[in-house]
Amino acid sequence: MPTIELGTGAVIPDPLRLTRLEFRWRYTLAEQIAINVATETHADATVRATLRALAASLAEATEVDVTDPRTIQGVQYHATLGLIAPARVAEILA
């Protein structure tokens, strides 16, 4: 988990910034599979492209800030598509 430097030499974990793996595993395995399948099989080519773009952004991130509007928008997009339950958005971003 990324850390916060306190200026005194001490560091503490930053609960708002996660490694890519930590963020990915906030999604259940079933949710991850649903997203991966939709990336390949969704009827709308724009949806498939958007899901690929979101996955590429995550792959290139050095860390994930759960308060970043882009992160929030991506998680909400998954809910909009029905790939995760709407209630899961808050849980994933918590």
**In which residue are the tokens 């209630």 written?**
87
**In which residue are the tokens 């595993």 written?**
25
Confirm whether 1 is domain-assigned: no
Confirm whether 37 is domain-assigned: yes
Whole-structure pTM value: 0.83
Q: Residues 1-57: pLDDT tens digits?
A: 565 555 666 644 555 789 999 999 999 999 999 999 999 999 999 999 999 999 999
Range of the domain at 52: 18-93
- CA triplet 7, 11, 14: central angle to 5 degrees? 115
Confirm whether 13 is domain-assigned: no
Q: How many domains does the chain have?
A: 1
